[in-house]
Amino acid sequence: MSPYLKLLGQIFLRVAIVVAIGLICGAPFGHPALGALLLLIPYVLLQMRQLVRLRAWLMAPKRYFLPDAHGIWGEVFDLLIDLQRKNRKRKKRLALMLAEFQSSTAALPDGAVVLGDRGEISWFNTAARQLLGLRAPQDLGIRIPNLIRHPSFTEFFEQGDFEHETEAPSPLNRTRMLSLRIIPYGNDQKLLIVRDISERRQLEAARRDFVSNASHELRTPLTVLRGYLDLMDAEAQQAGPLGAWQSPIVEMRNQALRMEALVNDMLKLARLEADRAAMTDELLPAPALIARAIEEARAVSKGQHRFEHDISDGLLLLGGEAEFHSIIINLMTNAVRYTPPGGVIRVSWSQLDDGSARFAVADTGIGISADDIPRLTERFYRVDVGRSRASGGTGLGLSIVKHALEAFDSRLEIDSEPGVGSTFFCRFPVHRVQVAPGAAPAAIPNETRSGA
Ligand code: ADP
């Protein structure tokens, strides 16, 4: 029998006993029903009393005690007391856990802010107070974008794409740079993690300044050396005292040229890394610039490759000319250097359906394995160091392309198959593209094999 039915049976039995006693006591007086009623009334009142006591205890469990009781009330009271004891234990455990969590997050060097579904602050640790200048309780309940009022954070928060982090200066001290990351969790809640990255930024700036200064300092002595080597090279061509030194002089001149290219690339990269925002935007005649770069690439190819192109006239680009030139010339000279003679290099510049513009350089060269592709834009990463050096590579070309593209809000994409060829392409977003319907077509001779 189920406990529920058993309990009902017990209650019924008790009431039946009370009624039976009442009937028996009332029978000698000729009123058995009255006898039963007279016994039932105090029985019901007794139950009511227990109910009132239970209510009083439930309302203020600390002020009232549950009395000892027999039967069903006793059982109910015992169960309730047991439940209360368990609840107290659980509460104590939770309070302990919360205290531990708060003391451990308080000790964190990173700021942590718990945000509600609208971005309102519901809790923060000591580091968040120091990094963001948050105050308790004044700032609790205030939306975080109202306190971190920096355009990059406002845009990041409103866009709701929290896969990446953003950076903004501290509202307390503008010289401190913060990295801000949002982790969504639970029921539309978010955790904002704040990290002070000023030192890292300073170290990066110091490294960039060092590379830039060292490259700059190396430039002058190198120019002098190259000047003399040029003179000696010309001299060595004739039958004179330097005739016997011709081949070492040619080698020295080549190495000086290589060093010059390296120093120039290092300077270019340091400038691009230093400040993306420093690029001055102007309306670039992209088709003409690409046409000029194709001519430069033809010169490097020395007639060994066939050039094809498909360029949309009047498709203009908003950005810096030097940066755009770095992108297109690096991709084209790489195509020349990594494509065996007789190969084809296709350059295209076109507008896509969504209004963005696509620049692509495809070659029928040696190709790149899938493992190497993700690492190509790392500084000095080369698949084949010997081949890169032999063809005059500095190992910095694609790094420069990557950083220059970032200034254009774009990125490099690569499709390649070893032994078949590669396509390097990039998409310039709509806000950087303009179409000039009446613009003059780019003057690119569409011949098949390049001439130097
Ligand atoms: P490098 O000066 O060595 O060419 P880059 O940064 O321009 O340096 O390129 C990095 C590496 O990427 C190169 O060393 C080469 O291995 C590979 N690479 C670049 N472009 C191509 C291409 N079009 N085809 C095959 N490999 C390429």
397 ligand 1 Cβ < 6 A = yes
Query: Does residue 421 line the site of ligand 1, with CB under 6 A?
Result: no
Check pocket membership of 368 for ligand 1, CB cut-off 6 A.
Answer: yes
In whole angstroms, how far apart are CA 22 and each of 14, 41, 43, 77, 223?
Answer: 12, 11, 11, 29, 124
6 or 430: which leads in pLDDT: 430
Q: Is the model's pLDDT at 280 over the cut of 90?
A: no
Residues 390-403: pLDDT tens digits?
888 889 999 999 99
Confirm or reject: Cβ of 400 under 6 Å from ligand 1: no
Identify the weakest region by mean pLDDT among 122-131, 231-240, 410-419. 231-240
Do residues 112 and 101 make contact, with C-beta atoms less than 8 angstroms apart?
no
> With 90 as the cut, is the pLDDT of residue 301 above it?
yes
Range of lowest pLDDT (150-159, 355-364, 419-428): 150-159
| pLDDT band of 278, cuts 50, 70, 90 | confident
- pLDDT at site 442: 44
Query: What is the widest separation between alpha-carbon atoms in the chain?
Result: 157
pLDDT tier at 441 (50, 70, 90 boundaries)?
very low
pLDDT, tens digit, 9 for 90 and up, residues 161-175: 898 899 999 998 888
Whole-number Å distance between alpha carbons of 336 and 304: 9
Among all chains, which residue has been given the structure tokens 């039946």? Answer: 16
Residue 451 reports pLDDT greater than 60: no
> How open is the CA angle 178-184-186, to the nearest 5 degrees?
145
Residue ID of nearest Cα to ligand 1 atom 8: 395
| pLDDT level of residue 428 (50, 70, 90 thresholds) | very high
Query: Both tokens of residue 84?
Result: 């209360």
Q: Judge if the beta carbon of residue 326 lies within 6 A of ligand 1.
A: no
Residue 376 alpha carbon to ligand 1 centre in Å: 7
The atom number, within ligand 1, closest to the CA of 366 reads: 25
Tell me how far CA of residue 295 lies from CA of 132, 136, 147, 288, in angstroms: 54, 65, 54, 11
CA 450 to chain centroid: 44
**CA distances (Å), origin 426, targets 139, 215, 289, 354:** 45, 29, 16, 14
Task: Quote the pLDDT of residue 417.
Answer: 95
* Ligand 1 near 366 CB (within 6 A): yes
- What is the band of 370 on the pLDDT scale with cuts at 50, 70, 90? very high
Reply yes or no: is the peptide bond before residue 441 cis, omega within 30 of 0: no
Whether 265 is in the pocket of ligand 1, judged by its Cβ within 6 Å, is no
pLDDT digits (tens, 9 = 90+) for 46-102: 889 889 988 988 888 888 887 787 778 888 888 988 999 999 999 999 999 988 887
Cα separation, 48 vs 42, in Å, equals: 10
Distance from the alpha carbon of residue 421 to the mean position of ligand 1, in angstroms: 12
Task: Give 250 Cα–ligand 1 centroid separation in angstroms.
Answer: 25
Q: Does 32 sit in the ligand 1 pocket, CB within 6 Å?
A: no
Ligand 1 centre distance from Cα of residue 19 (Å)? 102
pLDDT at 132: 93
298 lines ligand 1 (CB under 6 A): no
Minimal-distance CA residue to ligand 1 atom 5: 397
Mean pLDDT computed over 294-313? 95
Minimum-distance ligand 1 atom for the alpha carbon of 335: 23
Answer whether residue 224 shows pLDDT above 50. yes
Q: Is the CB of 388 under 6 A from ligand 1?
A: yes
Q: How far is the CA of 313 from the centre of ligand 1 (A)?
A: 29
Please state the three-class secondary structure of the chain as a single string: CCHHHHHHHHHHHHHHHHHHHHHHHHHHHCCHHHHHHHHHHHHHHHHHHHHHHHHHHHHCCCCCCCCCCCHHHHHHHHHHHHHHHHHHHHHHHHHHHHHHHHHHHHCCCCEEEEECCCCEEEEECHHHHHHHCCCCCCCCCCEHHHCCCCHHHHHHHHHCCCCCCEEEECCCCCCCEEEEEEEEECCCEEEEEEEECHHHHHHHHHHHHHHHHHHHHHHHHHHHHHHHHHHHHHHHHCCCCCHHHHHHHHHHHHHHHHHHHHHHHHHHHHHHHHCHHHCCCEEECHHHHHHHHHHHHHHHHCCCCEEEEEECCCEEEEECHHHHHHHHHHHHHHHHHCCCCCCEEEEEEEECCCCCEEEEEEECCCCCCCCCHHHCCCCCCCCCHHHHHHCCCCCCHHHHHHHHHHHCCCCEEEEEECCCEEEEEEEECHHHEEECCCCCCCCCCCCCECCC
Q: What pLDDT sits at residue 438? A: 65
Q: What is the pLDDT of residues 326-344, one digit of tens each?
A: 999 999 999 999 999 999 9
The pair of structure tokens assigned to 309 is 């192109």
For residues 303-323, give the mean pLDDT. Answer: 95
Nearest ligand 1 atom, CA 388: 3
Q: How high is the pLDDT of residue 410?
A: 95
Does residue 401's CB lie within 6 angstroms of at least one atom of ligand 1?
Answer: no
Which pLDDT score, from 0 to 100, does residue 240 have? Answer: 79
Closest CA to 348 of 366, 367, 335, 339: 335
Look at 3 and 194; give whichever has higher pLDDT: 194
Ligand 1 contact, 338 CB (< 6 A): yes
29-43: b (≥16 Cβ within 10 Å) or e: eeebeebbeebeeeb
Question: What dihedral angle (degrees, nearest 10) is formed by the CA atoms of 266, 272, 274, 280?
Answer: 140
Per-residue pLDDT, averaged over 134-146, amounts to 92
Cα dist from 8 to 1, 21, 72, 75, 241, whole Å: 11, 20, 10, 14, 125
Q: Is the CB of 360 under 6 A from ligand 1?
A: no
User: Does 153 sit in the ligand 1 pocket, CB within 6 Å?
Assistant: no
